[in-house]
């Protein structure tokens, strides 16, 4: 369809939204439970995407194609000639 793929699946039932929301709550609890002592660590919780199942979220928002990029190689510094004068 013209929009994101999500519209292809048509409108979502209330039951489906509620099921997705419950799954999100469980996921948040798990994600927040693993490193509770790290005060600067990320916090996970309810936001605009909590009514979507992960596969629905991915189908709409995560559509950038990966590519293998060349490894960065810092310029190898010119060897200084033996007589010391640097061109």
Which parts of this chain interact with another protein (CB under 8 A)?
2-7, 24, 27-28, 31, 34-35, 38, 40-45, 47-50, 52, 54, 57-58, 60-72, 74
Q: Which is nearer to another protein, 7 or 80 (CB)?
A: 7
Q: Give 85's contacts (C-beta < 8 A, 6+ positions apart).
A: none
Q: Which is nearer to another protein, 1 or 81 (CB)?
A: 1
Alpha-carbon gap, residue 41 to 7, rounded angstroms: 35
The answer for 25, left when phi > 0, alpha when psi is -120 to 50, beta otherwise, is alpha
Smallest distance from the beta carbon of 78 to another protein, in angstroms? Answer: 19
């Amino acid at each position: 369809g013209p929009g994101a793929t999500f519209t292809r699946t048509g409108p979502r039932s209330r039951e489906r939204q509620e099921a997705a929301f419950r799954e999100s709550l469980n996921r948040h609890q798990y994600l927040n439970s693993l490193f509770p002592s790290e005060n600067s660590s990320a916090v996970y919780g309810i936001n605009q995407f909590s009514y979507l199942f992960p596969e629905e979220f991915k189908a709409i928002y995560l559509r950038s194609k990966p590519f293998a990029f060349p490894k960065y190689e810092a310029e190898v510094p010119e060897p200084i000639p033996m007589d010391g004068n640097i061109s």
